[in-house]
Structure 1
Amino acid sequence: MWLEEKSETMKLLPDNVTVLYFARDRVEPYVEIITVKDATRRRSLSSSEDKEAEDEPVRDTLPVLKHQSQLLDARHLERLAAHMPVKTQGSPWQLAFSVAVHGSSLKTLYRNMAGLDRPVLLVIRDMHKKVFGAFSSDPFRVSRFCYGTGETFLFSFSPDFQAYRWSGENSYFMSGTLESLQIGGGGGGFGLWLNADLYRGSSFSCPTFNNKSLSTQEDFNVLDLEVWTVQNI
């Protein structure tokens, strides 16, 4: 860098000096001359502040449950929020179905979903106390063909959280009959499958999500089940 003196001659700045130039719209620009050591310290402080901001959880993006959940706590919600669509962040969620409240019936689950046009969150606890489920872009319903979008994903907890997003290999997101609900498929097994009484289920690796089995065992019994639906989107 060069600095112009009053004599209109040019002088080479020392190696330990740097020049910062500031300018804003409609504001007189000015020059600040500092040592290289100070410039390095400023960059270090700025990087530390950015790192702290990144590490701090963004609480206002977490789902807000309007009812008490038997399966989800703040830790679960924090992990799930990072994978949900932006349009759902910070929105209230209401309990649309629970086997503890509505009984073990897939028909009742479908009936409670009737008329909805919003994403839903299915959460299951198996007999081994493992929690897992699916975020669905569409409410569950009986259908002749597969439905849903690439926002759909599978997840599991315990011991660590794992989310399995759409692989792009097929579009077998969801399908439903009166006998069963299926999520993901294409490889001879469903990513998540539930029977008509919501008591028995299975989870296999499938091309739709390239997932591992969500449950403790591929075939499992349901201990508890909840379905939540997002509001205000």
Structure 2
Amino acid sequence: MGVAYSVGEVDHLYTFFVQWSPEKYTEAIKKHCQARHFRKKHKNSFFTDKNVINSLFSNLNDNLKAANNWEFITVKQTKQHINLCNLEDFEEDEPEVENDLPVLSDQSLLLDDHHLKTLVAHLPQRTQGYKWNLVYSTAIHGSSLKTLYRNMAGLDSPVLLVIKDMHKKVFGAFSSDPFRISKYCYGTGETFLFTFSPDLQQYKWSGENSYFVSGDLGSLQIGGGGGGFALWLDADLYHGASFSCPTFHNATLSTHEDFIVQDAEVWTVQN
């Protein structure tokens, strides 16, 4: 019994031709197709028209002889080729996509995109890819060290302290532990200091001592051991000071050793 093909199916026969030997394969397909009945579906009826098919292959064979370097590909291959071309155009025309900014729970008044992109690259690997949550802000919670401690009660994740002084300079510290009242220093070597002047200057742990963070109701201190703290804030989070110290071998973080706090924020990177 002969096999009937719709005209649409006949059209798809073109897609199986290859470039190996066009004349040979075209002739073979022509003889094969001439032995079959082709039907065309028109509304609810089919009809057979071998003359149309024969003419179709005859014209194809003539064209192949005129251009032996033709290559027939499937519809699927054609779409893949088009998609690939579009991808190449996209790669050439589109600029490189920079690393994504960290997701913040709230809008920061102190950190712009430049600050965020730079800081995130220096945070420990265990904090990468997580949302930054605002724990404390002088603009929201008022200027109170006691409130800062209270907002961190029960927190068990590293924190980022960001300060802007009255001269608009931005600086601060990353602490491996949340700030709390303690008789003794706490923290690990992940703790570091930073300042933007305007590019980031980072001061990592020197290894000379472990005076990372300490605090009481009267003040918060980061770094020490040389007669001064790398960063010191009073109970009202209004007056501050920054000196070089052995813990980080840092330069003064603020515009001056003694400074006035304009705003302060504390963020936690929870995982």
Question: What's the TM-score once normalised by structure 1's chain length?
Answer: 0.73
What are the within-5 Å matches in structure 2 for residues 155-170 of structure 1?
A: 155-170=194-209
Question: Aligned residue for 2:161?
Answer: 122
Task: Work out the number of aligned pairs and report it.
Answer: 176
From 62, 70, 73, the equivalent of 2:112 is 73
Aligned-partner SS, 1:111: helix
Runs of 4+ aligned structure 1 residues displaced above 3 Å come to none
Q: Which letter does structure 2 place at the counterpart of 1:202?
A: A
Question: Aligned residue for 2:26?
Answer: none
Which has the higher relative contact order, 1 or 2, with Cα contacts under 8 A spaced 6 or more apart? 1
The answer on 1:113 being equivalent to 2:152 is yes
**TM superposition shift of 1:57:** 7.6
The answer on 1:146 being equivalent to 2:185 is yes
**TM superposition shift of 1:58:** 6.0
Deviations for 1:29-67, whole angstroms, at most 9, x for unmatched residues?
A: xxxxxxxxxxxxxxxxxxxxxxxxxxx78625x432111
Q: Which letter does structure 1 place at the counterpart of 2:247?
A: T
Question: Aligned residue for 2:260?
Answer: 221
The answer on 1:59 being equivalent to 2:99 is yes
Question: Aligned residue for 2:129?
Answer: 90
Q: Which has the higher strand share?
A: 1
Question: What's the TM-score once normalised by structure 2's chain length?
Answer: 0.63
From 147, 154, 179, the equivalent of 2:218 is 179
Aligned-partner SS, 1:67: coil
In 1, distance between residues paired with 2:139 and 2:179? Answer: 19
In 1, distance between residues paired with 2:177 and 2:206? Answer: 18
The answer for unaligned runs of 5 or more in structure 1 is 1-55
**TM superposition shift of 1:163:** 0.4
In 1, distance between residues paired with 2:116 and 2:172? Answer: 13
Deviations for 1:123-164, whole angstroms, at most 9, x for unmatched residues?
A: 000000000000010000000100000000000012221000
Question: Aligned residue for 2:10?
Answer: none
Q: Which has the higher helix share?
A: 2
Pair member with larger Rg: 2
Aligned-partner SS, 2:182: coil
The answer on 1:207 being equivalent to 2:246 is yes
In 1, distance between residues paired with 2:190 and 2:98? Answer: 21
Q: Which letter does structure 2 place at the counterpart of 1:67?
A: D
**TM superposition shift of 1:83:** 1.4
The answer for unaligned runs of 5 or more in structure 2 is 1-95
Alignment check: 8 A CA contact 1:125 1:222 kept: yes
Deviations for 1:79-129, whole angstroms, at most 9, x for unmatched residues?
A: 111211001112101110000100000000000010000000000000000
Aligned-partner SS, 2:149: helix
Identity among equivalent pairs (%): 75
Q: Which letter does structure 2 place at the counterpart of 1:222?
A: V
Alignment check: 8 A CA contact 1:142 1:175 kept: yes
**TM superposition shift of 1:229:** 0.7
Aligned-partner SS, 1:77: helix
Q: Which letter does structure 2 place at the counterpart of 1:207?
A: P
In 2, distance between residues paired with 1:81 and 1:188? Answer: 31
Alignment check: 8 A CA contact 1:121 1:228 kept: yes
